[in-house]
Structure 1
Amino acid sequence: MVLDPDHTEPERQIGPRRYSERLGVIDGAQLQAVADEFGLGRVLAAEPAPQGLFGQIIFLTTTDGEYAMRGNPHGHGHLTKERRVAQLIHERSSLAAPWPYLISEDTELFGWTYAVMPRLPGANGSEFWDAADDTQQVAIAATCGEALARLHETTSPFFGPYDFERDAFTALDDYPGWVVQRLEQCRTTCREVDALRAEDESLIDSVIEEGVEALAEPFEPVLVHHDFRPGNLNLRQTNHRFVATGVFDLFEAYLGDGEEDLVRMLRTVRTDEQRRAFLDAYTAHRPLRPGASRRLALYALADWLIIWGCGQRHHVWFEDDDTLRGTAGPIIDAARRAGSA
């Protein structure tokens, strides 16, 4: 215990701690240096975020408030892209995002750059989802649909990816070609690890052939999160109602067709009632366009190819006798039905 000269009560010293495999051991003096750099006051507590695939987030409690620090990013562009996306959401959407998103260029403190942002209110949506009964999951699904519609208030005059060198999104002129190109890149990744059989290749070809014309249906580009699901939302529960308090994990985002953001949530829901609640809440604000069933089937396939390729490369998630056709078929069919409804 040490005595803070500005306070009469003793202050608990934060000792060294391994916050995650990726972040390693960090001590209290390093965290205080982060707070000093951005004028956040005195660090009172620090805890690893309970969710997150890569263990990059530490929640900081300081005398000035609650913050999140993202460390050891996937290259410095990881942080600059998230900052740009958070700014777009902050400026154009009624759904909150972590803002201001402050980046430190200093690599002396940890060996990598890092970012600090206000901690969003509420708790991680996956915690609510996993603890909910069937009725509550229907309500959460509806909340997610409304939240996605609010996120898609972030519109753009063009579609395209983020350019790391320019720290800006770049306009493209062939949307169907871009979608098919991204899907073919995922197919190539799967081929590299010998993860596709002849029947899998046939499935991919048929879904592309069926859906490519529907990709040409005109749309207003929006910010596509590309990993939209309860685990990347914060929620707050009031009585029997759930409210989305913010969205995060923004690194996969690009400007494109908002319908593409439906497919991961459609894979998350477990019942037709949950699926309808999600879609009804979303389409009340943003109706689906003609050809949605064919587009959603193609988007679902493209998204599953990412999961399939990663799982096959690292030998996780799937059994040895699983096939792309066998695992993707029900997902594609569910997306097709959702588009038809």
Structure 2
Amino acid sequence: MTAAIIFASNKLGAVHDDQMQLMLDKFNLGKLISFQKTVNGAMGQTMFVSSKEGDFILKGNPLYPGQFIEEKFFIENIHKRTNVTVPTPYIIDDSEEIFGWSYSLMPCLQGEHMNSEHLKVTLNTADKFEIAESIAKTLADLHSWKVTRFGELDTNNLNIAAFEGSYTIWLYNRIKFWLEDAKKYSVITDEDLTRVDLLLEDSKEAFDDFSSPSFVMGDFKPGNFLIHPGMNGWEISGLFDFTNSYFGDPISDLIKMITVYLDNGEPELASHLIQVYFNGSEEKEAIKKRIKVHMLHQRVLDWGCAKAMNMVTWDNELSFSYWVESYTDSVASLLV
């Protein structure tokens, strides 16, 4: 389930003070002060809990079997293998006796989301470049966790279950599946499908030749990390939510932040992130081909979701292929 697209959500329902205190007592975490739902919670699963022993994040009512097991696995390995700050220790309580559902508990990390209302009005240009650079270095650090096969975590044995066929087949089939799904809610023409096929075919060799899978967070976006001014400027002070993590092409993790910068009219920040991350790589042609497909993948998901929920934020008359190519061409042009 680590690489699945999850739309459903198991809400927490009503939670009471006495239940929270029972949970804190179970782990000797002090007297309850307060608790509330988190503003940027993972699909309604999270609550901020404050006690006299500290501040914590509760994540409850798992979306699928093994959700907390996989998150604990990823957090513990990232903590051990990299310098990236993650919420550890990560406690799991499989018992449902307190809330009626199992849950995990982790420390609340310091910092703010970069898209918070406070930071939107206080960050200057230099701050934003520091943040983009910190994002690039954090991702590079995450991706230093290399593995020997493409796949997702099997939470039954904590081994990597290989994607069926190959990574290329898995990724291409995923794109085609969600493009077909988008046809239920929007106009996808034969020309759109032909342009997608041409891009995939043009990039196939670059993917087939790629043989260095690494950890992929799968959902690196402003809502899943915190920033804080450190000794050497702004830095990523915490990273969390590994529900969509797997092992594949690491550059896919850049896409959501590049898109944020492009949509905000800040291509110079996207360019800085890319230049710091690739740090003079000589494989730019292959990278260009792969990153365009990863952008296509994300745009297919975003197009289908926006059309299905009637939440389109762009010109609704744009064709799918024109809209997508404005992004794929932009991201390729940043790799100079």
Partner of 1:293: 288
CA distance in 2, matches of 1:152, 1:55: 28
1:334 aligns with 2:334: no
Q: Does the CA-based 8 Å contact 2:130-2:235 persist in structure 1?
A: no
1:309 aligns with 2:304: yes
* CA pair 61-53 structure 1, distance change in 2 beyond 3 A: closer
Q: Secondary structure at the match of 2:57?
A: strand
Partner of 1:16: none
CA distance in 1, matches of 2:282, 2:99: 47
* CA pair 147-331 structure 1, distance change in 2 beyond 3 A: same
The one-letter code matched in structure 1 to 2:294 is Y
TM-score (norm 2): 0.86
Q: Does the CA-based 8 Å contact 1:92-1:155 persist in structure 2?
A: no
Give the total of aligned pairs.
Answer: 321
CA distance in 1, matches of 2:110, 2:211: 33
CA distance in 1, matches of 2:271, 2:12: 40
Partner of 2:321: 325
Partner of 1:234: 226
The one-letter code matched in structure 2 to 1:133 is N
CA distance in 1, matches of 2:221, 2:97: 35
Partner of 1:79: 68
Larger RCO (CA within 8 A; separation ≥ 6):
2
Partner of 1:4: none
CA distance in 2, matches of 1:26, 1:261: 35
| CA deviations over 1:244-299 (Å, ceiling 9, x no partner) | 12211111110011111111111111323212221122123977554111111111
Q: Secondary structure at the match of 1:291?
A: helix
Stretch moving more, 256-265 or 46-55: 46-55
Q: Secondary structure at the match of 2:188?
A: coil
* CA pair 29-255 structure 1, distance change in 2 beyond 3 A: same
Q: How does 1:121-140 map to 2 (within 5 A)?
A: 121-127=110-116, 130-131=120-121, 132-140=123-131
1:32 aligns with 2:24: no
Q: How does 1:54-133 map to 2 (within 5 A)?
A: 54-127=43-116, 130-131=120-121, 132-133=123-124
Stretch moving more, 241-250 or 161-170: 161-170
In the alignment, structure 1 segments of 5+ residues that lack a partner are 1-19
Q: Secondary structure at the match of 1:115?
A: strand
TM-score (norm 1): 0.85
CA distance in 1, matches of 2:10, 2:94: 22
Partner of 1:243: 235
* CA pair 195-79 structure 1, distance change in 2 beyond 3 A: farther
In the alignment, structure 2 segments of 5+ residues that lack a partner are 1-8
Q: Does the CA-based 8 Å contact 1:152-1:222 persist in structure 2?
A: yes
Once the 2 structures are TM-superposed, how far is the Cα of residue 146 of structure 1 from its aligned partner? 1.1
Please list every run of at least 4 consecutive aligned residues from structure 1 whose deviation after the TM superposition is greater than 6 angstroms: none
CA distance in 2, matches of 1:217, 1:160: 16
The one-letter code matched in structure 1 to 2:167 is Y
Once the 2 structures are TM-superposed, how far is the Cα of residue 116 of structure 1 from its aligned partner? 0.4
Q: Does the CA-based 8 Å contact 1:84-1:168 persist in structure 2?
A: no
Q: Secondary structure at the match of 1:103?
A: strand
Once the 2 structures are TM-superposed, how far is the Cα of residue 39 of structure 1 from its aligned partner? 2.5
Partner of 1:222: 214
What percentage of aligned pairs have identical amino acids?
A: 24
Once the 2 structures are TM-superposed, how far is the Cα of residue 156 of structure 1 from its aligned partner? 1.4
CA distance in 1, matches of 2:251, 2:59: 29
Query: Which structure has the greater CA radius of gyration?
Result: 1
Once the 2 structures are TM-superposed, how far is the Cα of residue 21 of structure 1 from its aligned partner? 10
